[in-house]
Structure 1
Amino acid sequence: MRSVFVLYFMLMMGMQTLSSAEPVIATDHEMFNSEDTVELNLFWFVSKPFIYKNEKGELTGIEYDILNEYKSYLANKYGVNLRLNWIEADSFGNIIDRIQAASNDNHVGVSAFSITPERLEKVDFSHPYLADFTVLVSSEGTPILKTLDEVNKTLSQMEAVTISGTTYEEFLFELKNQLQVDFNIHYINSDKNVLNEVSKADNRFGFIDLPIYLMLIKNGGNLTRQNFFTKRGNGYAFMFPKASKWKVRMDSFLMDPQSREMLAEITSNYIGEELFEFIENIYGGHNLGTSLLTKEKELQNEQLILKEQLLEKEKQQRIYLMIALVAMVILIGIIAFQYYRQQKIAETLLTQNKKVESQQRNIESKNEQLFNRNLQLTSLNEEKNSLVKILAHDLRSPINQIQGLVEVLSLGESTLDKESTETINQIKDAAKRVNNMISKILDFDALEEDRMKVIKEEINVENLVAELANNFKNQAENKKIELIYQVPVNTIIYSDHLYFTQILENLISNAIKFSEKETRVWVEVFDDQQAVVVKVVDEGPGLTEQDKRLIFNKYQKLSAKPTNGESSTGLGLSIVKKYAELLDITLTYQSEVDKGTTFILKIPKYKKEG
């Protein structure tokens, strides 16, 4: 008798369906009476994945998306602006009470409510949007119960987990009453998952929605479903006050063919398309238990395949790890060998460094001797220069007196014989040469001490460049260097003829001196609006970065050497720089190693007054 009773209960639990009236579909003119803006107060309580808040605190879920689609549906089809007011309730029971007591028909209960006879006595429900199955699950390792003795013995030693005010709770009470099974009930908040709480201990069980259970299996969960304790309801629906016109409006939306496609898409987004189609297909079937067992087996096989793939992947990773370890050992061996080799090299270098240091000390000692000798030579040179300047100054006065006396003697030239006249002229020429030599000595001294006097005058650049090109013709031909110049006719500047000539002479001389044979040197002159520009270009070795830092230093010899054994004092470019500054000429250069050097002079234009 006990076995027959259990079989009867299992059949009743597994095949139970609840009847509800067919939905009434309103026509378009019955839907809205000139209403263009309406609102719904939506009372909700957490029920994942139907309605809940995400990590950002935003509402989401199947029912949230459906109602937002309903809002778009009314706007597109009827031109109605629907405002949705989401109101969080204290519990599922609180929502039912508020909908039952509502004086306005625009109150809606939203929290995955199942349609039950008890609830239909208090409120109305929309057409269901999803099939409603509830299964009984227990902790991992719990045996599948087959007889009433097994049920009483096992469940009495276990703890049920449920959420207050839900059909899960109602089914537990029904189980207690019909099977006379005594067990404790552990209540949790609706934002928690019954499955998670059941899995935390080995003596728990509880009712849960079939989609949630199948999602657990699909994701690798391993709880035990009691095969015969399966409830088939009338579906999940939205809750309305009795005789609410919004029920009719919602039914019209939910039964629209396009809406059915939308509902399938929304639900699939949360539970997966495969599980959604399975639930829809078995809802009207008669072999519910067999279908569930088959699906569980299918999902478990998928998990086994996935685990095998993961194991294979881990195996491959272990192989790669072993290869990496072997490679690392080999690499460490190579590094150790290289380290040993480097140590030997370091010892050799240390010995050589000691020798080099000894040689360096000898060189430093010699350098110090040379430095001291240079100091002595510099001191002697300064004394010599000082003596030369003193002599030059002291000689200028008697030379001037000699020139004066010669001029006096020249006044009586008509009374002198030819021999005396020649002697006086020789004395005059000799005195003039000595005076010019003294002037040059003092000019060099003035250049060193920035006491040069500038005498500006008109200079025909064309004539000057042609003259210089002719002067350097033999020097260039000796090295087979082509000396080219391009100067516009009648190019006039206003500057010191002597100093400007010396600038060009130094630049052209250097260009020829440091250029290889069979190359070109050219002088280019052109008008640049604000100035006359003179370029002296060569195809020599160019300047290194070190050369560029030292180029205008006095007595500074650069890395490039004269190519035909010419002498170089290192004074040329420093004198050019001083003369250019003296004449307000801008001096720049462009150079790259092995690509030659270009010196550029920019002379301010001369505008003749009047």
Structure 2
Amino acid sequence: MKRILNLREIGLLVVLLVLSSAVQAQYKGDTFKQVKASGAGTISLAYVETPGFVYKDQSGHLTGICIDIMKDFVDYVNKTKGVNLTAKYVGDGASFSGMFDKVKASSGGVFGLGNITITDARKKVLKYSPPFITNNAILITQPNVPTLTNLSNISTTFAGLTAYTAKGTLNEKRLLTIKQQYFSAMKIAYVSSSLEAEEKVLQDPKSFSYLDLAFYLDAVAHRKPLKRHPVGDKSSEQFGFIMPMNSDWQPLMEEFFSANGGYTNSVSYKKILTKHLGDTGVKLLEAVQ
């Protein structure tokens, strides 16, 4: 005969399920203190797939600006600290918010990679590396939409168009600012990622969005029918790697970025940019700095 659980037992079961879910939503990696003490260890790299920054090559292996920079970081730690540090990738890379929230809830040597803008608000819940690139956000539509000549005219030029964006991103903030200042009737539809926002614009002739530079360059390279509206370009934010608040890796990241005249001034870094953005992408990046 089956016994019926009482309310107290049901409550305890719910608590255990919630705690189990929270544990599963976290990643773990060795602290630098542990690596230094044992001479070896592993860090976990969570990521959101982003053209140019974190993507899969033809063989299905992860590559990109973020991947190559982290390889240089691991090499630097091994050479300068005399340890054997390795890295493993965690998560599926499908969602910016999923990656961001899990890194925030994690502990130890966990890093978040992708198009992650450095903001004061995020610094209250996460640690950042020094910036490794300045982003340029591109305002895009399908080609048949008239060219926007002034942001103040967007309510007429883009009348009837829906804006697509991922919640919690700087691109969402840009669109909300435009809505408040120039386009109170703007409709905003939310998607899970920048890639999905791009796909929505490709599918919907009455739509627009902001794309980070790498997404735009990828679209141009693949001859996707998208139109850039230069008057809407924004280049104010910088990207960095994120770490949980309890991480002790931040000083190592700062040391790595400042060593030997600065990592972003190095030949290795410049080769990485050219490899993943191409000459055209690097020139556009330099033009908006």
Q: Is the aligned partner of 1:79 residue 2:82?
A: yes
Q: Is the aligned partner of 1:232 residue 2:238?
A: no
Matching residue of 1:200? 203
Amino acid at match of 2:85: L
Q: What TM-score, normalized to structure 2?
A: 0.74
**Counterpart selection for 1:65 from 46, 63, 68:** 68
Task: Count residues in correspondence.
Answer: 253
Structure having the higher helix fraction is: 1
1:543-596 Cα offsets, whole Å, 9 max, x none, are xxxxxxxxxxxxxxxxxxxxxxxxxxxxxxxxxxxxxxxxxxxxxxxxxxxxxx
C-alpha spacing 1:56/1:217, structure 2 compared with 1 (3 Å):
closer
Structure-2 separation of matches of 1:199 and 1:44? 25
1:463-488 Cα offsets, whole Å, 9 max, x none, are xxxxxxxxxxxxxxxxxxxxxxxxxx
Structure-1 separation of matches of 2:175 and 2:284? 26
C-alpha spacing 1:264/1:253, structure 2 compared with 1 (3 Å):
same
- Matched position secondary structure for 2:255: helix
- Matched position secondary structure for 2:42: strand
- Matched position secondary structure for 1:232: coil
Cα offset, 1:239, TM superposition: 0.6
Q: What TM-score, normalized to structure 1?
A: 0.38
Q: Is the aligned partner of 1:262 residue 2:268?
A: yes
Q: Is the aligned partner of 1:273 residue 2:279?
A: yes
Amino acid at match of 1:150: N
> Alignment RMSD, CA only?
3.0
Amino acid at match of 2:101: D
Amino acid at match of 2:269: L
1:108-147 → structure 2 map (5 Å cutoff): 108-146=111-149
Matching residue of 1:95? 99
- Which fold has the larger relative contact order, with Cα–Cα distance below 8 Å and residues 6 or more apart in sequence? 2
C-alpha spacing 1:135/1:117, structure 2 compared with 1 (3 Å):
farther
C-alpha spacing 1:146/1:278, structure 2 compared with 1 (3 Å):
closer
Deviates more, 1:257-266 or 1:210-219: 210-219
1:483-516 Cα offsets, whole Å, 9 max, x none, are xxxxxxxxxxxxxxxxxxxxxxxxxxxxxxxxxx
C-alpha spacing 1:48/1:190, structure 2 compared with 1 (3 Å):
farther
Q: Is the aligned partner of 1:155 residue 2:158?
A: yes
**Preserved CA contact (<8 Å) 1:39 1:106:** yes
Greater Cα radius of gyration, structure 1 or 2: 1
Structure-2 separation of matches of 1:149 and 1:249? 45
Matching residue of 1:402? none
**Preserved CA contact (<8 Å) 1:51 1:64:** yes
Matching residue of 2:51? 48
C-alpha spacing 1:215/1:33, structure 2 compared with 1 (3 Å):
closer
- Matched position secondary structure for 2:185: coil
In structure 1, list runs of 5 or more residues that go unmatched: 1-29, 284-610
Matching residue of 2:13? none
Structure-2 separation of matches of 1:57 and 1:209? 23
**Preserved CA contact (<8 Å) 2:195 2:215:** no
**Preserved CA contact (<8 Å) 2:136 2:288:** no
After the TM superposition, which segments of 4 or more aligned residues of structure 1 sit over 6 Å from their partners? none
C-alpha spacing 1:92/1:262, structure 2 compared with 1 (3 Å):
same
**Counterpart selection for 2:255 from 231, 240, 252:** 252
Amino acid at match of 2:138: V
Amino acid at match of 2:163: A
Structure-2 separation of matches of 1:262 and 1:193? 32
- Matched position secondary structure for 2:115: strand
**Preserved CA contact (<8 Å) 2:151 2:231:** no
